[in-house]
Structure 1
């Protein structure tokens, strides 16, 4: 499944949630579906910002990925486990956007992704930006990370939908 296909799944399925379902927090430490969407969008923009930084850079970086980064890219995605960031990096995502606003924001991500799709392979692979867990990534790797990260959240979406079926 391509990066864009994953984002289109999220965008197209927004219409099936009521405003209450989007904002419903099923328990302590669990996000609502709306918060998951917000997280995916914010992170995708952050990763695409790093694609832009790589594209604008003339400074080459010889350092590479961490062991975790090497494993992630070798496997082609995240392991099917829940990942919890350290508390200082784990502020709850926004839970106030409705379907229309989330759909518009998702469309903006898709548009940026489409813009960089053809360009990303032309960017010097030695111009990199550091990721806190995965090491130094080039534009193509940041671009691919958008899809890997979004795809990882498909499992979370299924889990959150199962809570809705039980609770609402």
Structure 2
């Protein structure tokens, strides 16, 4: 998928997150699901935080000096990018990521989602021109270029939409 197509897919996913916010009451937004796990609020917080970190990595890619011999994505990353989604397994967030997840309000979630969509739109013209050799390290996926960082954002964002849908169906 091209950079513009991936950016459009991310925008559509964010639009879905915003629509889901309108359907849920604030008290249900912060309530953990009966089967345990994160509340919708915590899922939104996690997605927003990971996307913010990934957008910072995109900015670093834009300004990085190309290293023609730098290693690329890990085998896991290549597999995930090839199938276009995370494997159908329960994957726990690393402890350092899980530790910073908190409950946020619907208003904060809405505002942060809009900000991230605007930031991606602003970066898009620069990303298209960024050399593919400009890579920034992802903790699990290795050194990613701008295209791969966008793929990661898109896959991760869509993954948690499925989690929100499971919670919605169980309530």
TM-score (norm. length: structure 1) = 0.89
Indicate which of 86, 91, 94 corresponds to 2:102: 94
Aligned to 1:5: 12
Indicate which of 27, 30, 39 corresponds to 1:23: 30
| 2:126 matches 1:114 | no
Q: Is contact 2:66–2:131 with CA below 8 Å preserved after alignment?
A: no
Aligned to 2:73: 65
Aligned runs of 1:1-168 on 2, under 5 Å?
A: 2-26=9-33, 30-60=37-67, 62-91=70-99, 93-95=101-103, 97-164=104-171
CA offset at residue 91 of structure 1? Answer: 1.8
* Distance in 1 of aligned mates of 2:117 and 2:71: 30
Q: Is contact 2:54–2:153 with CA below 8 Å preserved after alignment?
A: yes
Query: Which ranges of structure 2 fall in alignment gaps of 5 or more residues?
Result: 1-7
CA offset at residue 27 of structure 1? Answer: 5.0
Q: Is contact 1:35–1:92 with CA below 8 Å preserved after alignment?
A: no
* Distance in 2 of aligned mates of 1:92 and 1:43: 11
**Aligned pairs, number:** 163
RMSD between aligned residues: 1.8
* Distance in 1 of aligned mates of 2:126 and 2:30: 37
- Does the residue aligned with 1:133 lie in a helix, a strand or coil? coil
CA offset at residue 144 of structure 1? Answer: 2.0
Q: Is contact 1:55–1:127 with CA below 8 Å preserved after alignment?
A: yes
TM-score (norm. length: structure 2) = 0.87
Query: Which ranges of structure 1 fall in alignment gaps of 5 or more residues?
Result: none
CA offset at residue 88 of structure 1? Answer: 4.5
CA offset at residue 59 of structure 1? Answer: 4.2
